[in-house]
Structure 1
C-alpha cells in the first residue's frame, strides 16, 4: 500500500486562529482519497508559526524530523510527502531549497504539491521532460524573491512602529502579554488574568516548583490563557503547562518592560535597550527579583530523582559529616520493615568515605520540625517590619546584580566584533551594574544597622511558626505548609551534617552569639553557628562529648552549589 505523510506550515503564530490549518489539511486528505493513497495519521509533521525563509523549519522543526526519519528508514522509499505548495516546503534561496528536495527524491520520496497537482519524483525530475524541473526552480525562486521583497517592505514599517513605541508608548500590534489587551491604541489590564499571574509569582516565592504550580492551577479549574482564544480549527485542551508558568515568572513585562527585537525566528536578538513602563506594571521590582531568587535557589538544590517517596523538606540540606558529600535518598520499600533513608552517596559508590550509616527521612524531618518549633525566638534580637523590608530589598538587589553580571559576560563575548550597538549596550549594562552594586551595599548597611542579623531571625520566626502549624495541621493543609517550610529552611539552615559519631547535626549560621533555648535537644553555641543534635535519644556520654568538643568529628563544609 502506498503511504503519504502530510506537512503543514505557516510563518506567524497569528495564522493558527485562521483557516490555514483546515485548508491545508483538507487539500491533503482530498488528494490522498483521489489518488488512492493511504494517509498516515500516526506521524504528522507541522511547523506552525515557523519560518521557511531562515531554514528554521528544517534545522529545528518538523521538516527536519521528516528528513531524519527518511534517513533512518522509518519512512520507506516509495512514500509521499504531501504539501499545499512549494513555498510551504521552503522559502530559502532556490539552490538550497532545491537541494533539500532533491535529497528527498533521491531517497525515493515523492513530493506532492496539491495546489497544482504536481508530483516531484525520480521519474518526473530525472527524465527527458524538463518541465517539472523548470517549474520547480521557478517556483522556489519566486517563493524566495517574494519573501525578500516582503522583508524589505516590512522592515521600515516595523522600525517606525518601534520608534513610536519608544517615543509615545504606542502598541506595535494587537499582540501583547496575555494579561493585557489593546483597546483604542492603549493597553488595558485583564483583572482575572492579572490575579493569576500574581498568584503564580507568589507561589514561586513561597517555594512551589513549576510542576506543583501547574497542578494547583489545573486542580482549581483555572483555564490557561490560550484556552480563551476563538480557534477556527478545534484544538485539544491541555491545561496549564510548566513552560507557560516558567515564561510568566521570568517575563519582565510584569514590570511594564518591553524589549524590541530584530531578526526572524531562530535568529532574533534585542534591538536596543528595553522600553521601561511600556506596559502597565502589575508587580514591583522587589517581588519580581524575589521570584528570580526563588528560581535560582531551586536550581541549587541537589539532584536525583524526586518521586513521591523521596520528596522531603530537607532536600538539598543533608551532607555527609565525614566527607562533606551529598546524602541521597534510598527507598527500602514500605514500612514497617522498609522506609525512605538518606545515605552518603560517596560511600554508596565505594569512593572512600567510611560513613555507611543511613538516616530515616521521616524521623529526621520530625526532629527538624520539633527543634525549629521549639526555638525560643524571644532569646533572639527583636525585628520589626522595616527590617523585613530591608532584608527583601537585599535579596532583590542581589538577584538583579547577578542578572546584570550574566548580561555583561555575554556581551563581552561579542564585544570584539566592534559593533557600535554592542559597545553601547555593554557600557549601559556596566553602568547599571555599578549603580545596582552601590544600592546593594547601601541596603546591606541598612540591614546591619537595624539588627546584627535580622534576616535570619525573621526566617527563623517564620520557620518556627510553620513547624508548629505543621505538627497540628490537617492532611489537606500539610502539603502547602511543607513546601513553604522547605523553602524557608534552605535559607535558614546551612546544612544538616549526618555524623556517624553523634547522628544528624543541624547547623544554623549566626553572626551574634545567641542563646537558643531548645528543650530536649543538645545544643552547642559557637560564634559562627548554632549546632543542634537532632537525635534526642542519644545517651548522656555522646551528648556531653557533642557539647564539649566535636571539632574533629565532622567536616564543617557548607552545601554544594
Structure 2
C-alpha cells in the first residue's frame, strides 16, 4: 500500500471544512447536496484553502429549527472537534448560508455563529460570499445586523411551515374516525386503493389470533417465536425471523382491537419527542375481541411485574456484542431464568430458533477480559492512516521474531557453551532489536499524532471507568465503548473478542476471554 501524505502537509494553506445541511427527504432527492458541496469546493479553490475531503460534516434530513443539528447532529460534532482542538484555530468553515447553521430564534442562532468565530474559526457564507470572524462581528455592526436579519427570516419561515403542517395534521386527527390519516397500519391490515378504509389480510389476522390463543394457553413469547420459526410461518414486518420482542409488541398493540392513538411531534432539547393525543376507537378493523386482549395483557403485565429486576444496565457490551457466525446481535440471558442464575451472551437469531448455532458465552468471562485488558485496548488505538498502521504492525511482528531468535540463541549458548559465533549472533540480534524498538516508538508517536484528542480522551475515560473500584459504572463503560467501537465480535470458536474501531474503519483489536466450554 502506498503511504498517503495529507495534502495539508505539502502546503501551508489554511484548512477548511464544509458543512452541508438540509431538512427534508425531498431536498435529499433533489439538488441540495450537490449544490452545497460544489459551492464549497469552488470557494476553497478560488481562495487558496485546503478543503478537507475526509472530515466532512453533513446533516442530511436534519432540522435546524429547534437546534437538533447542534445538539445531536454533525454540527455538534464539528463544535466538539473545535472544543477538543482537533480542528485548529485559524481553520475555515464553509456553509451555503447562515440558516444552514441554525434556524432557531435569532438570538440563539447568532450565538452559534459567535461560538464558532470566538474559537478562532472563520465562517464563510457561500451564497453571498460574506466572511465572519470574531473581529468582524466586534467591529462591523453591519455584519452582525445581517446575521440577525438572516436568522429572523429563517426562523419565521420555519415557524410558519411548522404552523401549517401542524394545522393540517390537527385537521386530519379531527377526521380520523371517518378517514385514515395515512397509509401506516399494522402488518395484518392494508389501506384500500381509494384510501377510504383499511382491509384485513385474512391469513395474517389468523396468525395474530393464534399468538393470542397460544399466550392464553400458557405459551411464552420466546416459545411462540421459536415455534413460528420452526414452522416457517411467514413473518410480516422488516425482520428476517420471528422474535420475542415482536410477539410482545403485538400482544400489547391496541390496534388489534381497532384502537389508534395519533401522536404529535415536539422538539425538546434538540430531540424530537412523540406526544400521544386522544385515542380513536374503531379506527382499524378489530381482529381480536376486547375481552381476549384484556385477559392477555393482564397475564403479561403480571409477568413483567414479577419478573422485573429493577436494576440498570447489566451488560457492558449491550448493543455492541455480535455473533461470529451470522453477525446478529448477541443478547444477555440468564441460565435458568431465576435470580442467581448465570448470565450468558447468546445470538438473538439462534435464541429465536431461526437457524444460527446456539452457543452461550459467559458474561463474567467477557467482562473480566475487557476490564483486565482496558489499558491494552487504550495502548492499541489504531491510526487513521492505514499505511502507517501496517508499518507499525510489521515492526512489532519483527520485534517479536527477533526476540524469539534471541531466546533461541541464549538457549543454545547454555547448551553448547560460550561459542564465539553464537555470542556474535546474540550481539547482532540485540542491536537489531534496539533499532526495531526505536522504530516502533517513533511509529507510535506518529500514530498518536493522527488520533483526535476526542478519541484519546474517550479511551482514557474508558480505562478510568474500567479500573475504578467496585461497584463499577457499567453504563459509563458501555457508553465509552459505544463511542470507541462499532461492534465487538464475540468469537466463541476461538475464545476471542474482536473490537472494531469506530475512528479507523477496518481496524480491529483482539483479546482472549477464555475458551468455549462444551457445556456452554
The interval holding the TM-score normalised by the smaller chain is 0.3 to 0.5
TM-score, normalised via structure 2 length: 0.45
Query: What TM-score does the superposition give when structure 1 sets the normalisation length?
Result: 0.42
